[in-house]
A and B are shown apart, each in its own frame.
Chain A
Amino acid sequence: MSLEQAVEAPQKTAAEAAEVAEDWRPKILAFTCNWCTYAGADLAGLNRMNYPADVRLLRLPCSGRVNPQFVLHAFQKGCDGVLVCGCHPGDCHYSTGNYFTRRRMLLYRRYLEYLGIEPERFQIRWISGSEAGKFRDTVVDACEAVAKLGPNTKYREEGR
């Protein structure tokens, strides 16, 4: 048995799944860079696009500012999904910030998966300031995927 299989996350029991309230909606946090994704989200608003109200954006100067600890902290405190979004690689406002994000977060994603957090719960997306449609689609997809998985229970602090 491989190490990965050994620590594979236990499947949610039927009883656990039933506990989820009817009106439960996922809580998703998106770390976004100020220059691309946040601007893309603003543009989606300007175009009056419609998407589920489950995602909250946290504005940062650059996706390179996102410390992996922030992501873990979000899951611990009760987020059901986390997005990290920045400029397309090569288009970083700060030249190279998102290259580091890409390497760091893709590795981190595998690590979280290893720890038992479903990969659908943590996604990295590149959305430019002009890609309002892509922003909406990303939010819709993320909400759908996380809603399907139900509330995150892994590493969650008690009482949350």
Chain B
Amino acid sequence: MSRIGVFLCHCGTNIAATVDMTRLAEATKELPGVVYVEENKYMCSEPGQQAVKQSIIDRGIDRIVIASCSPRMHELTFRKMLTDTSVNPYMLEIANIREQCSWVHKDKEAGTKKAIDLVRMAVAKVDRNAPLFTSEIPITKRALVIGGGIAGIQAALDIADAGFPVTLVEKEPSIGGKMVMLDKTFPTMDCSACICAPKMNDVGAHPNIEIMSLSEVEEVTGYVGNFTVTIRQKAKYIDYDLCTGCGLCEQKCPSKVTSEYERGLAKRKAVYKPFAQAVPSKPIIDAKNCRKFTEDRCGVCEKLCTVNAIRFDDEDKLVTLEYGAVIIATGYELIDWTSLYGEYGAGAYPDVIDGLTFERIINASGPTEGHIVRPSDGKEPKTVVMIKCVGSRDPHKGKAYCSRACCMYGAKHAHQFLDKIADGECYVFYMDVRAMGKGYDEFYMNTLQDGATYIRGRVAKIYPEGDKYICIGEDTISSKIVTVSADLVVLDTAMEPQESADAIGRLFGVSRDLDGWLTEAHPKLRPVETNTAGVYLAGTAQGPKDIPDCVAQASAAAAKVIGMFCLKALESNPMISVVDEINCRGCGDCVDVCPYKAIAMETVERRENSVWVTRDIAVINSGLCQGCGACTASCKSSALDLLGFTNEQILQEVDALCL
């Protein structure tokens, strides 16, 4: 027979004003199993907690109900309180008589009746509680960072600096991401390469960081503290242990192809480093365009390489490693505006370009060495039109969200253009100017001072006339149609998630929102965690961001990982599913329902009714199970139950309500 102690909290007058506590106490005393009832002004206070502890000793109470505020508020407080008593912390139930009773009902009679019901339900449930015990989960103190953009770089550096090994996986040949492509960064106008490249070098030289370039995550198993990740390292056809990065192969390679890094404005070789400051500072061979692979001739790189590092027979390698935590920083891609905006020429006009291409044009290390010229004829443009929100804030054609960085990089482009071309004219078509960062609005104001003409409205049509592009739009402030004859048009296009984010999200059980961005555990209070324990988000993988926000989020995610790695071990959640092996009929429905891949079918041999039988049963991995209970409702033979919320406990509660 259980000995239940019930503690009724007045919460000052928060509860006592609407609930007749004396009546509640009297009704509670009548409930089966209740041996002690005590009222207290504040249960959560030190004296309140002391009263519980004392009565455990004095009255021999073995399970506890506290009628107070929401369990979401103080369940943990009271569980902690029980850790140094003889009562197991899970022999506790909370009746929520504040948020869901006294605060929402004005009628004292109805409120009191409901409070009695709620306490009765909690008493009935706690009667069937069983002691639960957390176990220790060991932690593999190595972190995996997916994506080598500025967010991934920052996160990897922070974790490595704290003394933990990190693997940085990047699908491109070099880390650096989008930031390294930029010329200058708003609002300080420091050169992007000058602040990004040193960080890349730090990563390359850090003893705790291993870079896996040209690699992708292929398979994930395990759980927080103990992920097993298989990474595919694609064939580079160059032995990085031998290669010195001298660049002779790249110089002599005869195949020229369009450079992705230069956004199609320049050529690269088939054996190449994407850019001069690449990390790792060694080339790869692009097998699709290498004559050795396509025509089985040439091989000049192999002949010239002084250290014999060329490996035409190189193959993809699969590496499997253990990790304790994962940071996903897969970043963004610019939306393919050419398929969406026919009115802007759908990509047919060479001088209608996106913002990132303009970055390469104004970049001192870019294909034009920073001279602003038109991609079509190399002439200096005198009139530039910039169009914002191309694909952003446009639910009909593109995305409904704001891409956040475009207002500022648009202002920066205008500023840079007017700075470099003294007699230039710059027209910016905008919807709203959203300059909400530190020093951003000041920067925008300066751009206006520089002479940029901001026109509120969208461009409806662009068409070529001679070597000019006629942009027709509406100025919605003066309600007039505006026509600008431009030499160059820059579209500030929307960010969208990297294509790989979907697969990565699926691999790690991180949900994507309707636009494909990976979702955080809580938009305000857990912005870098995901609902998969041990997996964190950094940078634009989670949503559009500018560089400061990416770096801040990366450091936050790294701090979470470091915090976890500083623990000796993790405490497991004991409220997980359990299988009744006798009743399990081996249908495997639960395996399909489990979102955490925590259930597996195992073939067992067992003695039943004096005969040996071989059959399949479900086995739950207690480290992976998060205790959602989805499997329990899917089980046709009721062999699955959820500890802490067992079928029996729930039915007891229902019965108690209906008494």
| Residue contact A42 to B100, C-beta cutoff 8 Å | yes
Is there a chain B Cβ closer than 8 Å to A155's Cβ? no
Q: Which of A38, A39, A53, A67 has the most CB of B within 10 A?
A: A53
Of residues 515 to 532 in B, which have CB atoms within 8 Å of A's CB atoms?
531
| Residue contact A60 to B629, C-beta cutoff 8 Å | yes
Residues of the A chain whose Cβ atoms lie less than 8 Å from the Cβ of B73? 42
**9-residue interface stretch from A8-16, A91-99, A110-118, A119-127:** A91-99
Q: How many residues of B contact A (CB 8 A)?
A: 48
B652 to chain A, nearest CB (A): 11
Is there a chain B Cβ closer than 8 Å to A154's Cβ? no
A96 to B101, CA, bound (A): 31
Residues of the B chain whose Cβ atoms lie less than 8 Å from the Cβ of A60? 629, 645, 650
A68 to B634, CA, bound (A): 10
| Residue contact B96 to A57, C-beta cutoff 8 Å | yes
| Residue contact B630 to A94, C-beta cutoff 8 Å | yes
Is there a chain B Cβ closer than 8 Å to A147's Cβ? no
Among residues of A, the one whose C-beta sits closest to the C-beta of B524 is A130
Of residues 34 to 80 in A, which have CB atoms within 8 Å of B's CB atoms?
34, 38-39, 41-42, 44-46, 48-53, 56-62, 64-68, 70, 73-74, 77-79
Is there a chain B Cβ closer than 8 Å to A83's Cβ? no
| Residue contact A48 to B645, C-beta cutoff 8 Å | no
**Which of the residues A50, A78, A94 comes within 8 Å of B626, measured between beta carbons?**
A94
**Which of the residues A50, A59, A93 comes within 8 Å of B105, measured between beta carbons?**
A50
Contact A53 to B654, CB < 8 A, known contacts A61-B627, A97-B628? no
A29 to B632, CA, bound (A): 20
| Residue contact B658 to A160, C-beta cutoff 8 Å | yes
A113 to B304, CA, bound (A): 81
| Residue contact B634 to A56, C-beta cutoff 8 Å | no
Is there a chain A Cβ closer than 8 Å to B568's Cβ? no
| Residue contact B509 to A95, C-beta cutoff 8 Å | yes
| Residue contact A56 to B104, C-beta cutoff 8 Å | no
Residues of the B chain whose Cβ atoms lie less than 8 Å from the Cβ of A57? 96, 100
| Residue contact B657 to A70, C-beta cutoff 8 Å | no
Contact A56 to B630, CB < 8 A, known contacts A45-B103, A50-B106, A100-B593? no
Contact A100 to B634, CB < 8 A, known contacts A51-B104, A78-B658, A95-B531? yes
| Residue contact B99 to A46, C-beta cutoff 8 Å | yes
A45 to B657, CA, bound (A): 21
A94 to B159, CA, bound (A): 28
| Residue contact B647 to A97, C-beta cutoff 8 Å | no
Is there a chain A Cβ closer than 8 Å to B492's Cβ? no
Residues of the A chain whose Cβ atoms lie less than 8 Å from the Cβ of B627? 61
Residues of the B chain whose Cβ atoms lie less than 8 Å from the Cβ of A67? 632-633, 647
Is there a chain B Cβ closer than 8 Å to A27's Cβ? yes
A141 to B72, CA, bound (A): 26
**9-residue interface stretch from B107-115, B340-348, B477-485, B493-501:** B107-115
**Which of the residues B71, B121, B658 comes within 8 Å of A74, measured between beta carbons?**
B658
Is there a chain A Cβ closer than 8 Å to B575's Cβ? yes
**Which of the residues B71, B107, B514, B657 comes within 8 Å of A29, measured between beta carbons?**
B657
Residues of the B chain whose Cβ atoms lie less than 8 Å from the Cβ of A56? 114, 117-118, 121, 657
A92 to B117, CA, bound (A): 29
Contact A53 to B121, CB < 8 A, known contacts A34-B72, A100-B593? no
A51 to B632, CA, bound (A): 33
Among residues of B, the one whose C-beta sits closest to the C-beta of A98 is B630
A79 to B629, CA, bound (A): 24
A153 to B20, CA, bound (A): 32
Residues of the A chain whose Cβ atoms lie less than 8 Å from the Cβ of B658? 27, 74, 77-79, 160
Contact A53 to B111, CB < 8 A, known contacts A45-B100, A58-B653, A90-B511? yes
Is there a chain A Cβ closer than 8 Å to B27's Cβ? no
| Residue contact B104 to A64, C-beta cutoff 8 Å | no
Contact A104 to B99, CB < 8 A, known contacts A29-B657, A53-B114? no
| Residue contact A62 to B629, C-beta cutoff 8 Å | yes
A49 to B105, CA, bound (A): 8
A131 to B442, CA, bound (A): 38
Is there a chain A Cβ closer than 8 Å to B187's Cβ? no
Is there a chain A Cβ closer than 8 Å to B98's Cβ? yes
A23 to chain B, nearest CB (A): 10
Of residues 32 to 76 in B, which have CB atoms within 8 Å of A's CB atoms?
70-73
A160 to B100, CA, bound (A): 26
Among residues of A, the one whose C-beta sits closest to the C-beta of B644 is A61
Is there a chain A Cβ closer than 8 Å to B314's Cβ? no
Residues of the A chain whose Cβ atoms lie less than 8 Å from the Cβ of B105? 50-51, 53
Residues of the A chain whose Cβ atoms lie less than 8 Å from the Cβ of B645? 60-61, 65
| Residue contact A66 to B595, C-beta cutoff 8 Å | no
A28 to B106, CA, bound (A): 19
Is there a chain A Cβ closer than 8 Å to B284's Cβ? no
B597 to chain A, nearest CB (A): 11
Is there a chain A Cβ closer than 8 Å to B642's Cβ? yes
B171 to chain A, nearest CB (A): 25
Is there a chain A Cβ closer than 8 Å to B242's Cβ? no
Residues of the B chain whose Cβ atoms lie less than 8 Å from the Cβ of A50? 104-106
Residues of the B chain whose Cβ atoms lie less than 8 Å from the Cβ of A51? 104-105
B474 to chain A, nearest CB (A): 37
Of residues 600 to 655 in B, which have CB atoms within 8 Å of A's CB atoms?
626-630, 632-634, 642, 645, 647, 650-651, 653-655
Interface residues of B (CB under 8 A from A): 70-73, 96, 98-101, 103-107, 110-111, 113-114, 117-118, 121, 509, 511, 513-514, 531, 575, 593, 595-596, 626-630, 632-634, 642, 645, 647, 650-651, 653-655, 657-658
Top-9 shortest CB links A-B: A45-B99, A65-B629, A94-B628, A64-B630, A77-B658, A53-B110, A45-B103, A78-B658, A95-B595
28 chain-A/chain-B pairs, Cβ below 8 angstroms: A27-B657, A27-B658, A29-B657, A34-B72, A38-B72, A39-B72, A42-B96, A42-B100, A44-B104, A45-B99, A46-B103, A51-B105, A53-B113, A53-B114, A61-B642, A64-B629, A65-B629, A68-B633, A73-B651, A77-B654, A77-B657, A77-B658, A79-B654, A90-B511, A90-B513, A95-B509, A95-B511, A100-B630
Interface residues of A (CB under 8 A from B): 25, 27, 29, 34, 38-39, 41-42, 44-46, 48-53, 56-62, 64-68, 70, 73-74, 77-79, 90, 92-97, 100, 104, 136, 160
Contacts A61-B628, A67-B647 known; list 12 others, CB within 8 Å.
Answer: A42-B72, A42-B96, A48-B103, A50-B106, A52-B110, A53-B107, A58-B654, A61-B642, A65-B633, A90-B511, A94-B595, A100-B633
